[in-house]
């Protein structure tokens, strides 16, 4: 295996599957099976999930809601998604811990960096909920921050496209895919990989990012083994 400890970032929208809203249990089950297969190879796995399938803070702000209030609501949506994935992971036999940046003692532990690392060392899959715990920060930023805090080897951003393209491949048929790209090239070309705060955090801490299609069964394992799937951002 190429990596020892990885942070997997999933969008909330990815949990919808073919639905227009909410959580598709079949999609979550597929993710759980793919994660178990990789974990069974001895990798330490931490996960951050967005909340856009339930509530989007930025969209609510545009309709007149206070931004901080909307962002906190979005953080609670990420905890709902985290609980759904936690349940699916435990159903396939994994031991998990859900750590939240907002205290909710009845359903998850508060985030403590040393505790998170210890859980990983003991072979538990750690899910980080509630973003960074602060408004004005996305779950991309939470993923980058948590990855750095736990000394992850890489951030794997699971999306519905198979990497970074010159343009949106769903809108532009002529878009071509990058297999490797540097942080500077992403800046210079104005490509949308993560929000700028998250992206800068990864660059400053020399933390590589791989963008790949998580919906294709087996892709997660291929990346864990070091195969060139998706797009690698580094250097």
CATH number of the domain that residue 151 is part of: 3.40.1160.10
Give the tens place of pLDDT for each residue, 30-76: 999 999 999 999 999 999 999 999 998 778 888 899 999 999 999 99
Residues 224/23/117/218 CA torsion (nearest 10 deg): -10
Number of domains in the chain: 1
Largest CA distance in the chain: 50
Place 235 in a pLDDT band, splitting at 50, 70 and 90: confident
Bridge partners (DSSP) of residue 134 are none
Rounded mean pLDDT, 188-208: 94
Alpha-carbon span 120 to 67, nearest angstrom: 34
Place 169 in a pLDDT band, splitting at 50, 70 and 90: confident
- Domain hosting 193: range is 5-233
Token output for 3: 């990596």
pTM (whole model) above 0.85: yes
Token output for 71: 């962002």
């Amino acid at each position: 295996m190429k990596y020892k400890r990885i942070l997997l970032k999933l969008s909330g929208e990815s949990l919808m599957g073919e639905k227009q809203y909410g959580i598709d249990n079949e999609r979550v089950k597929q993710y759980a099976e793919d994660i178990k297969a990789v974990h069974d190879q001895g990798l330490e796995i931490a996960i951050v999930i967005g909340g856009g399938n339930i509530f989007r803070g930025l969209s609510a702000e545009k309709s007149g809601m206070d931004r901080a209030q909307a962002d906190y609501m979005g953080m609670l949506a990420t905890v709902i998604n985290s609980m759904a994935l936690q349940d699916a992971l435990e159903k396939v036999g994994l031991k998990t811990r859900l750590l939240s940046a907002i205290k909710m003692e009845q359903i998850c532990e508060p985030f403590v960096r040393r505790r998170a690392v210890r859980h990983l060392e003991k072979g538990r899959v750690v899910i980080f909920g509630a973003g960074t715990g602060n408004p004005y920060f996305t779950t991309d930023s939470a993923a980058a921050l948590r990855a750095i805090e736990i000394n992850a080897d890489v951030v794997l951003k699971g999306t519905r496209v198979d990497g970074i393209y010159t343009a949106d491949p769903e809108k532009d048929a002529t878009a071509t895919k990058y297999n490797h790209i540097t942080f500077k090239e992403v800046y210079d070309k104005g490509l949308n990989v993560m929000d700028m705060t998250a992206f800068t955090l990864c660059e400053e801490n020399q933390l590589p990012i791989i963008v790949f299609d998580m919906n294709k069964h087996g892709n997660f394992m291929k990346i864990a083994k070091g195969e060139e799937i998706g797009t690698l951002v580094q250097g």
